[in-house]
């Protein structure tokens, strides 16, 4: 993509992007409905939309999944882990009860980046 890897990384951890870029896919979580916690050089993201607990999914997705009988990964029923693990500088792990993905952010030039998911 035509973007410096640092710009992509910074925008990925900016909670304001969720309500704009993920309005239809994640239910448009507002900045106050998510939290980032630092762990050394790394960050963990939690959804906090229901206000009662931290989870790996925004409430809208959790409700959708519950209503559609999606298959849950064995042992992941609690949904109380972080949803995104930003392992600086180049790895993003997304975890929830229904799927897991690993993304590598690879700089290919000053203004280009390759994402491998």
pLDDT digits (tens, 9 = 90+) for 2-60: 999 988 888 887 766 766 777 776 666 676 778 889 999 999 988 887 666 788 887 77
Residue (of 20, 17, 49, 19) closest to 35 by Cα position = 49
What is the spatial distance between Cα 115 and Cα 117, in angstroms, rounded to a whole number? 6
What is the average pLDDT across 93-117?
Answer: 93
Which has the closest alpha carbon to 20: 10, 9, 31, 33? 31
pTM listed for this prediction: 0.80
Count of other CB atoms within 10 angstroms of residue 90:
15
CA–CA dist 23, 28 (Å, integer) = 4
């Amino acid at each position: 993509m035509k973007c410096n890897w640092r710009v992509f990384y910074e925008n990925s951890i900016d909670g304001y992007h969720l309500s704009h870029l993920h309005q239809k896919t994640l239910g448009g979580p507002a900045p106050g409905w998510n939290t980032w916690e630092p762990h050394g050089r790394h960050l963990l993201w939690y959804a906090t939309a229901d206000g009662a607990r931290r989870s790996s999914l925004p409430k809208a997705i959790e409700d959708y999944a519950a209503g559609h009988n999606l298959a849950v990964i064995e042992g992941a029923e609690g949904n109380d882990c972080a949803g995104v693990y930003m392992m600086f500088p180049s790895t993003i792990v997304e975890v929830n009860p229904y799927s897991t993905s690993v993304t590598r952010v690879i700089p290919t030039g000053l203004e280009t980046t390759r994402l491998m998911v």
